[in-house]
Homo-oligomer: A and B are copies of this chain.
Amino acid sequence: MKKPTILDVADTAGVAVGTVSRYLNDQRIRKDNRTRIEQAIADLGYRANTLARAMKTERTNTVGYLVPKFDEFNSGILTQLVRSLRARGYSIVTFHHSDEADAINEALESASSRRIDAIILSGTHEVTEKVQELLTGEQPVIIFNNDVPGVETDKVLVNDEAAAQDAVSRMIDFGHTRIGVVTGDLNGSTGQNRLQGYKKAHEQAGLSVDEELVYVGNWGQLDGYTAMDRFLGMENPPSAVFFSNYLMTIGGLDCLSSNGKQVGKDIDLVTFDDPDMFRLIPPGITAIEQPIEQIARHLTEIVLSRLDGTAPDHLAIFASIARSSCAAP
């Protein structure tokens, strides 16, 4: 009870394999043959073997999606990608590396061995040997979310610095002068740029940055908690805190509620990312929204045009960022 092959179809329809193949692809077929082939396919329940096809055409119609983790942002992107790429016949195979070089290498290895058509790569900043190898390979690589300086390839990024600066400036406009910041890992551009935005905002306002108020975390919930805990314990605590991503914000919120503090009353918060949840927390949180649909659309377009060969040169597109959701007091 093996799966029928194109040969079975050809036999049943009384034509040559080549003809069936052409039917499957070009569709340029004499009418009588076409109906016979269609009949045969239906009768046999034939389904083309993608593997054999891929082997011949050297196209797997598969895109790899390699991210550090499936958080709300990346899942959102994934959702859109699956939808739009599926519509064009592509499937997505997912990998995640928890910022571990081993995992990245392993994923790339697998992607390469699977002859994936293109790969969307997020969350790496180290250009390991494997990454380099990948970049020089024949499959397009799209760097996404965080920049990897010095690497020439398609990139889809977010203007982290400008958005952070904008948000922090708002805080300053509201009268805050001591603003804490909780950054992510400073090895990556995302962490660097968001911090940079914070600093620029101060600079522009003629404020100096108190290094004591700069907490370097690593994007995790616990980092946010710890940071906030440290801020609260200070003699002269900040009146507002800027978190570089939503997970750390959650940690910070957790810490606040543990200490009986209230957002918007005791302290104000600014945060990158804007999960729906944040709308539930009473005013006092300013959130920076990332345009997920827009980013995903860009990614899709770049992938497709690269694969069509119609892509313009390595183009680095910066998706812009929407404004804050709720205002601080």
Within 8 A of B (CB), among A76-123: 76, 78-79, 82-83, 86, 91-96, 106-107, 109-110, 112-115
Stretch at the interface among A26-34, A206-214, A278-286, A299-307: A278-286
Stretch at the interface among A10-18, A46-54, A233-241: A46-54
Q: Please, how many angstroms separate the alpha-carbon atoms of A275 and B276 in the complex? A: 12
Interface extent on A, as a size class?
35 or more
Stretch at the interface among A67-75, A142-150, A174-182, A186-194: A67-75
The majority secondary structure among interface residues of chain A is helix
Contact (A250, B276) CB under 8 Å given A93-B93, A95-B82: yes
Of B69, B72, B96, the residue contacting A72 (CB under 8 A) is B72
Sample 21 A-B pairs with CB under 8 A, ordered by A number.
A45-B133, A47-B113, A48-B113, A49-B113, A50-B113, A51-B54, A55-B55, A62-B93, A72-B72, A72-B75, A83-B96, A86-B106, A86-B107, A86-B110, A91-B95, A91-B110, A221-B276, A257-B279, A257-B280, A257-B282, A280-B281
Q: Give me the interface of A with B, judged by CB distance under 8 Å.
A: 3, 45, 47-52, 54-55, 60, 62, 69-72, 75-76, 78-79, 82-83, 86, 91-96, 106-107, 109-110, 112-115, 133, 138, 221, 250, 253-254, 257, 275-277, 279-282
